[in-house]
Structure 1
Amino acid sequence: MPRYVIERNLPVGLSESDIDAAARRAVAVNSTLEGVRWIHSNLAIDRSKFFCEYDAPSAEAVREAARLAEIPCDTVTEVREVHPDAYIRRSW
């Protein structure tokens, strides 16, 4: 399944309860869509951006999930994982 990172630009003054409500809407919507799974998110300290990682069949499926959940979806980028362990020389 393809993996995507979504950048969400958030409105100024967003409260913790606003963020919680949006997350609940995302979970509810994702449960109705085939193959769309929220992996995790990182929230900027100033609450200006969310960076969310999703598994989904397509970028369009991610955009549709955001639209249905009524949350921003400014940039969707397909990504692959890269682990630092692959680049660390082990001498044991």
Structure 2
Amino acid sequence: MKPTDGSAPPGILVDSRLCTACRACELACHYHHTGAFGTARSSIRVTFDADTGAVGIIFGESCDGCRGEPSPFCVRFCAPAALRLTP
């Protein structure tokens, strides 16, 4: 995955303080791209530093905002609401 400049795609707000690093967004994104569960083709990556507890959420260039769907899968399946749609 080639990362973007670190910013989320237009329309998505990221609050990494709420992220639990469950990686449901990665699974949902991979499913959008392939129709199967996995993480290899995900356009989003969650990083977790066990020493500091820091969480990072990185979007790749392949993110299409789940074009053709009512809302991005990563937002839809983010239980702690670390990913949200902009108002």
**Structure 2 length normalisation: TM-score?**
0.41
Choose between structure 1 and 2: higher helix proportion: 1
Larger radius of gyration, structure 1 or 2? 1
Higher strand share: 1
